[in-house]
Amino acid sequence: MTPDPGMIAPLAVSFEALTDPDFWISVGVLAGIYAIVALGLQVNTGFTGIVNFGAAGFMAIGAYSMAILVVETGFSFWLSLPLAMLITMLFGVLVGLPSLRLRADYFAIATIAMAEMVRLFAQNARGLTGGNQGLFCSHDDPSNCYANDWRDVSDSINDFVSNFWSDPAALFPLLIVVWVTVGIATVGLIYLQRSPWGRVLRAIREDEDAARALGKNTLLFKLQSLAISALLGAVGGFFLALNLGTLHPIEFEPLVTFFAFSVLVLGGLANYKGVAFGAVLFWFVIEGTRFIDLPDPPFTETRIAALRLAITGLLLIGLMAYRPQGLFGNRQEMVLGE
Amino acid sequence: MEAGRVPEAMPLALSERFKEEMRSRPWLGAVGVIVVIFLALVAREGLHDVAQTGLNGLSLGAIYALGAVGLTLVYGILKLVNFAHGDFLTFGAYMAYLVNVTWGAPLVVAIFWAMLMTALLGILFERLLWGPMRAKQAGLLQLLLAAIGLAFLLRAVVQWFWGTEIRTLDVNTTSSVEILGLRIGQTELIVVIVGMVVLLAVGVMLRMTLLGKRMRALSDDLELAETAGIDTRRVILWTWIFSGALAGLAGVMAASVTSLYPEMGFELLLPIFGAVVLGGIGDAFGALAAGVVIGVMTEWSTLIIEARWKTAVGFLVLLIVLIVRPQGIFGRAKTI
């Protein structure tokens, strides 16, 4: 994943950096972002039984809509956020309308194809998205960057924090905001899940035909489920955009979706509280590999990256083969498909 | 056909008859679409350009088709959506690189080595992962995510040993052949010919041999096949051998006409899925035809849009087929 500025330090330094708050804060931000995205996947996969492999696409639509609205059309950052959420939810519904009628495995393939189309578009529609060069500030007015308004807020938070902590980490305000969002989303979803609406979702997961026989418009419920994950994907996308400072299409690879899935299944399916825990555990393991004191040959930077990929792969395989319900999931609640 | 019941005096409207025809022979519709696209392109760009880009598309099509046949066999027989199939291609390509570039052996040797190693890889994970997971009656999500985990693991291995830099095989990239005023690179031509021969051989094998018959029996109903006394374990192993070897071959071919990098296979996976779905899941002939069609369409698209957009064609075909006709052009609507 994207190395944060503080992390490009030589690999051998290791243990000193372990006590470096900047490092742990940046890991915490990543964990929070993925917790938000994985919460959306939990609604889809854990509670509605639809395997959405398009989370990265939702994140990209959210992040790029926000950035384009601010940079290209001159919207205020604060107005662009709800607009971008709306755009992403609309996009989710548009994707869902034809594809949610499909069998679960086809839906998974359709959503990953959709996400890759979005990324391809971001790569090639250079006039709009900046392509592989990235998008951060306006071409005509280099002082108009999408992260400007956030930086102001971030600075004032840190001004306040500096009363208690002499030199607060630059990412500290983002950490706070991201995790407050995780908290709100988790609590909100738990309440939503207890409502009659939430029970219909579970009914669809268990037996869609039965839910339909009871007169429920299951497509409508599945669309709502997808719209919620699109919304959460967009929010995750915003935070990722603020964390990065520049948007590149490569930040929205399918790998991102599957990191979120790793977070999800680690925390456990059909359990909202597990998601945050899974996110923290996953990212501390993945980023922790930066700090095991590995000698440079043979452990070059690419090999450490490969190692992280291998850990993710082994984690997914191991969990799915031996403990599919994850740490806090309920085995009875994860029967998908036939 | 329902048309038979309609009295003579009231002939079906032309549009109705057309619909009937489409329903009974859906692949005719696909052929029709291709012909219309072909004619429209010829009218716009001239026959030579359309034929030339079509010829360019054949090598890509052969790669898609080889990948798709292996993927569709596993999908049909084991009901496993093997998201790691793309990385099987990558693995095969790097195996060929090892023999062809690092050890300096001829490409032919490298191809056989790659096919052998990828087939072994298929068997290895059948024994270690898929067999045990089937025994535990793992659900769809479990299988999907385990396949993705495997994809990451394979990519990590490739990245560990060969890094992320772009590499090429030791192939002739300069000489080309002229046929009827059309040019095709020598390597591309070999890829097309080898691809078609291998695909035909696999097709004949599936149709004519007992193993092929058994594979189709498993694809229809695994438990029934087992009850009928077929040694399903053996057939499943052979399925993996075919799937792996074809993936290895496709990987080497992709590496010969383009280049090697750890994501190469994953990037080919979605168009390959497109071919699998278009051809109808489990249908090797369908996958073959659909792979070639998608390859040719991809190159045709460069006549009207910029080449950097051409990757979108594979995705678009996949999405459109999923939405319009998820059972594929030859398939039946029973399981969708």
pLDDT digits (tens, 9 = 90+) for A241-276: 999 888 999 999 999 999 999 999 999 888 898 999
Q: Is the pLDDT of residue B10 over 70?
A: no
Tally of residues, chain B: 336
pLDDT surpasses 70 at B34: yes
Domain assignment present for residue B39? The answer is yes
Chain A stretch 38-97, residues whose beta carbon is closer than 8 A to a beta carbon of chain B: 45, 51
Assess whether pLDDT exceeds 60 at residue B1: no
**Model confidence over B156-205: pLDDT tens digits?**
999 999 988 888 888 877 777 877 777 788 888 888 999 989 988 988 88
Q: Please name which of B279, B144, B209, B11 lies closest in space to residue A261, comparing C-alpha atoms.
A: B144
Q: What is the pLDDT of residue A69?
A: 92
Provide the pairing of β-strand B182-185 with B176-179: antiparallel
B274: left (phi over 0), alpha (psi -120 to 50) or beta: alpha
In angstroms, rounded to a whole number, what is the distance separating the alpha carbons of residues B140 and B134? Answer: 11
Nearest partner of A312 among A255, A268, A270, judged by Cα = A255
CB contact under 8 A, A320 and B159: no
Is the pLDDT at B2 greater than 60, yes or no? no
Residues of B in contact with A100 (CB under 8 A): none
Q: Which of B75, B126, B142 to mutate to test the interface with A (most CBs of A within 10 A)?
A: B142
| Reported ipTM exceeds the 0.90 cut | no
Contact flag B336-A306 (C-beta cutoff 8 Å)? no
Does B218 reside within a domain? Answer: yes
Put simply, whether A131 touches B (Cβ < 8 Å) is no
Cβ-Cβ contacts under 8 Å, B81 against chain A: 105, 108-109
For residue B125 the two structure tokens come to 């994970």
In terms of phi and psi (left: phi > 0; alpha: psi -120 to 50; beta: otherwise), the region of B181 is left
In a domain, B171, yes or no: no
Contact list, B315 vs chain A (CB under 8 Å): 113, 116-117, 120
DSSP lists the bridge partners of residue B185 as B176
Measure A177 CA to nearest chain B CA, in Å.
Answer: 31
Between B291 and B15, the higher pLDDT residue: B291
Is residue B172 situated within a structural domain?
no
User: Residue B52 maps to which CATH number?
Assistant: 1.10.3470
**A326 Cα to chain B: minimum distance (Å):** 11
Q: Which among A45, A113, A300 has the least Cβ separation from residue B318?
A: A113
Q: What is the domain extent for residue B118?
A: 29-164+181-329
Sign of CA pseudo-dihedral B91, B129, B63, B248: positive
Is B157 in Cβ contact with A109 (below 8 Å)?
A: no
Cβ–Cβ under 8 Å, residues A275 and A263:
yes
Chain centroid offset of residue A318 CA: 22
Residue A260 in contact with partner chain B when CB distance is under 8 A:
no
Q: How many domains does chain B have?
A: 1
Q: Which of A282, A309, A332 to mutate to test the interface with B (most CBs of B within 10 A)?
A: A309
Provide the shortest C-alpha distance from residue A314 to chain B (in Å): 6
Residue B1 lies inside a defined structural domain of this protein = no
Residue A313 has its nearest CB partner, among B153, B270, B326, at B153
Mark B188-227 as b/e (b = at least 16 C-beta within 10 Å): bbbbbebbbebbeebeeebeeeeebebbbbbbeebeebee
Query: Does any domain span residue B100?
Result: yes
User: Which of B165, B322, B327, B332 would best serve as a mutation to test chain A binding (most A beta carbons within 10 A)?
Assistant: B322
Cβ density class B130-148: b for 16+ within 10 Å, e for less: bbebbeeebbbbbbbbbbb
What does each of the 338 residues of chain A score in pLDDT, given as a tens digit? 444 444 444 444 455 556 677 888 889 999 999 999 999 999 999 899 899 999 999 999 999 999 999 988 888 889 999 999 999 999 999 999 988 988 888 899 999 999 999 999 999 888 888 888 888 887 777 788 888 888 888 888 888 888 887 777 888 899 999 999 999 999 999 999 999 999 999 888 888 888 888 888 889 999 999 999 999 999 999 999 999 888 999 999 999 999 999 999 999 888 898 999 999 999 988 887 776 666 766 777 788 888 889 999 999 999 998 888 888 776 666 555 43
Q: Does the residue B234 lie in any domain?
A: yes
Instruction: Please check whether residue B311 lies inside any domain of the structure.
Output: yes
Contact list in B for residue A302 (CB cut-off 8 A) is 159, 163-164
Question: pTM for this structure?
Answer: 0.88
Beta-carbon separation of A314 and B155 below 8 A = no
